[in-house]
Structure 1
Amino acid sequence: MGERHKNIKPIYDLVVKKVFRNETVALQFVKDIFELPAKSAKLIEGNQIFTANSNVDTDFNIAVDILVELDNHAQVIIEVQLAKQVFFINRIWAYLCKQVNDNLERLKQKEEEKLAIYKKLPPVYVAAIVDQNYFDGDEAISTFLIKEETRNTELKMYVENNTKDIPLLKIVFLELKKYKENLNNDYKKIRWLEFFGNKQYTSKPDDVLIQADNLLNLRNWSKEEKRMYDEVTRQQDHYWASLAYAQEEGMRLGIEQGIERGKEQERNTLISLIKDGYISAEVAAEKLNISIEELDEYL
């Protein structure tokens, strides 16, 4: 089955933000993936996350694409990654904890009673849409909760004005490369793998999904949006083109010194990608055909 859209990548940052700026689409995504009984959603741009009493670096902030706040006060951080990144799960946990702390600080400034602070503290969940595999097994959708070790009882929390307690923590990974037809999951979840994975739909899309898909139609984009998308695509392609150039340069020189120089350039490029968090050490070692231990000598 071919791609739905030939000229656009649904998981590029700019495209994800455009999709989730549509509150109807954002709400349906969160309801499908987290099974939350929300009726409305309010979007907060990524650069507004972690602003209260934040002591993290600027480049730390922009990794979060968007924050969805629901009418039941729950918040969902939506994070997208194209390449497998070192310590990605650690960073997700840091984003989540920082958001909870900032919510707490804001409540402290507004509420006089201490108990009211915790009564109104919203849970924060994370949806991670990743284009590389993070977990063993064939499951394309992985949901993580906090449960009691022997009784399997889920830890939940009270949220003001909610009819029942809701999960204290929920982190959902959508691993796009594990998608295949006839996955053993609720199709309301599977369809988002198809959407962001740019696959053909295996069931007739409803009005919300059609609305989301229309947002990927470049004919409906402004000139500025197209320009920005072209720039993002150019930057992303540059990383991988630089690797190919390093290999070709070594081959072109055709002598031992030139080959070594090409290998060194390729190695330096890969090390930069590791340090910037774009690829893991495992991926770099595989491309260089060396062991992790040998790669560690250059890091």
Structure 2
Amino acid sequence: MEERHKNIKPIYDLVVKKVFCNEAVALQFVQDIFELPAKSAKLIGGDKIFLANSNVEDDFNIAVDILVELDNHAQVIIEVQLAKQAFFTNRIWAYLCKQVNDNIERLKQNENERHAIYKKLPPVYVAAIVDRNYFEGEEAISTFLIKEETSNTELKMYVDNDIKEMPLLKIVFLELKKYKPELKESYNKVRWLEFFGNKQYTNEPGEVIDQADDLLNVRNWTKEEKDMYDERTRQLDHQWATYAYAREEGIEYGMAQGIEQGREEGRAEGIEYGMEQAVITLMKNGHISPEVAAEQLKVNIENLDKYL
């Protein structure tokens, strides 16, 4: 299927930040994906396309891509992931827990009574837009809730003085690679797969999605935004090109080692050794993360030391 935009990737983190800086777009996304009765949304984190929203150390940066607050005080983290990470679910949990803790600390500063802190503590939800598949099955949109094991009763909470209960936890994965035009999900949700997956729309996407598409028009960007996007694109292209080159080098090296040994098992071992060295070199040079390296080597991240 032909891409809607030839010169822009909607899934790049810089672009996603720019899209959700439009609060009407952020609100529509939250309403569609989480089915929450929100009337307004305010961006309270990730409002710069060129700066990470973080106040923690660089070596342990768990700053979220986008943080949206709804008029009922509920908060939604929107996280984007291009490459598959072995511990991405753990990372999402860290983001969510940190945000809950930040909310508690903020309320402690403003509330004198402990009871008021719990009363005003908002729920935090997560949307993960991923360009690699994480789950088995063909469902492109997966929603996770907390439910009672036998009765399937969902755990909910009240938000301040709102009379309507809200889910205590909600995590939604949008797996873009699983998109098919014939998906049976509500089109209000499917259109976001089409938007971020750069697919042609199979129905009228609606006015807000049209606004979001307009934000992808590079001609309307500032020079700073264009320069940042070009730099980010060069970085990603270099990273994947380096990985592809190293992979080929590793295979060639492994084949040479195997041929020299003159045994089929030696050839297999040589290829494996060459691949291992290529992955470790990429990680040492900062081209891939330890999580990606662990996944390629099929080991837990804690066991990477034996390759160093």
Tell me the equivalent position of 1:100.
100
Distance 1:79 1:143 in 2: 15
Distance 2:255 2:185 in 1: 54
Q: Does residue 117 of structure 1 match 2:117?
A: yes
Distance 2:172 2:77 in 1: 10
CA contact (8 A) 1:63 1:79 kept: no
- The letter for the 2-side match of 1:268 is I
Q: CA 1:250/1:34 → structure 2, altered by over 3 Å: closer, same or farther?
A: closer
Distance 2:9 2:80 in 1: 12
Q: CA 1:253/1:84 → structure 2, altered by over 3 Å: closer, same or farther?
A: closer
The list of structure 1 runs, each at least 4 consecutive aligned residues, that deviate by more than 3 angstroms after superposition, is 46-51, 59-63, 247-257, 259-265, 269-275
Q: Does residue 15 of structure 1 match 2:15?
A: yes
Secondary structure in 2 matching 1:177: helix
CA contact (8 A) 2:140 2:178 kept: yes
Tell me the equivalent position of 1:288.
none
Tell me the equivalent position of 1:136.
136
Q: Does residue 242 of structure 1 match 2:252?
A: no
Any gaps of 5 or more consecutive residues in structure 2?
Answer: 258-269
RMSD: 2.8
Distance 1:159 1:60 in 2: 31
**Higher RCO (CA < 8 A, seq sep 6+):** 1
Tell me the equivalent position of 1:177.
177
- The letter for the 1-side match of 2:146 is I
How many percent of aligned residue pairs carry the same amino acid? 72
Tell me the equivalent position of 1:67.
67
Match of residue 292, structure 2, among 265, 273, 279: 279
Q: How many residues align?
A: 288
Distance 2:102 2:152 in 1: 30
Residues 31-74 of structure 1: per-residue CA shift (max 9 Å, x gap): 100011111111022378675xxxx5335436521100000000
Q: CA 1:49/1:167 → structure 2, altered by over 3 Å: closer, same or farther?
A: farther
TM-score by length of 1: 0.87
Say which is worse superposed, 158-167 or 34-43, in terms of deviation. Answer: 158-167
Distance 2:35 2:255 in 1: 60
User: How far is 1:161 from its partner?
Assistant: 3.0
Tell me the equivalent position of 1:268.
280
Distance 2:224 2:147 in 1: 47
Secondary structure in 1 matching 2:307: coil
Tell me the equivalent position of 1:31.
31
Q: CA 1:292/1:251 → structure 2, altered by over 3 Å: closer, same or farther?
A: closer
